[in-house]
Homo-oligomer: A and B are copies of this chain.
Amino acid sequence: LLLVRRKSFEEMSCSVAQCLEVVGEWWTMLIVRDLLLRVRRFDDIQERLGISRNVLAERLDHLVAHGIVERRPYQENPVRYDYVLTEKGRALWPVVTAMREWGDQWAAPAGPPTELLHKACGHTVHVVPTCSHCHAELELHDLRIIAGPGADPAQPVVPVDATV
């Protein structure tokens, strides 16, 4: 058991912090992973993750409140719900995929537990980050983070000489 004081990230002028505010709780990204895999029933997610019902219910409420998940009734008396990702929730797939690829490379001594099949070309593939302007493959050292239009001068994210 840990005693943890949760400071909200909501006031931080940083998009990484805003993403974490929504999906940064322990367990939440694995719930999103299961929803991306179309596991939609409370009991199925609970069984797959081995998580307590209380914690799962609390996390799903949080995701619903933030517009990541919507409840769809599939039965009445008593009403039962499927949990389905919204467009905002599905947009998290690059985050989950980047985590998976990192884990495959750095923490999967027995080989990747899963692989990504690209339906159009039929191959098992990796995701290659490329530039939206010149289409070149991107590496960390190719990039520089600069202040954007939503930067808060009182709370600058970017220090001098930042690379990413």
Given A118-B138, A120-B136, A127-B132: A112 and B159 interface contact (C-beta under 8 Å): no
Query: How many of chain A's residues have a CB under 8 angstroms from any CB in B?
Result: 97
**Chain B: minimal CB distance from A43 (Å):** 13
A126 CB–B CB distance under 8 Å: yes
A142, B105: Cα distance in complex, Å: 22
Q: Which of A119-164 contact B (CB under 8 A)?
A: 119-121, 123-136, 138, 140, 142-152, 157-159, 161-164
Which A positions have Cβ atoms within 8 angstroms of B?
1-7, 9, 13-22, 24-26, 29-30, 33, 36-39, 50-51, 88, 90-121, 123-136, 138, 140, 142-152, 157-159, 161-164
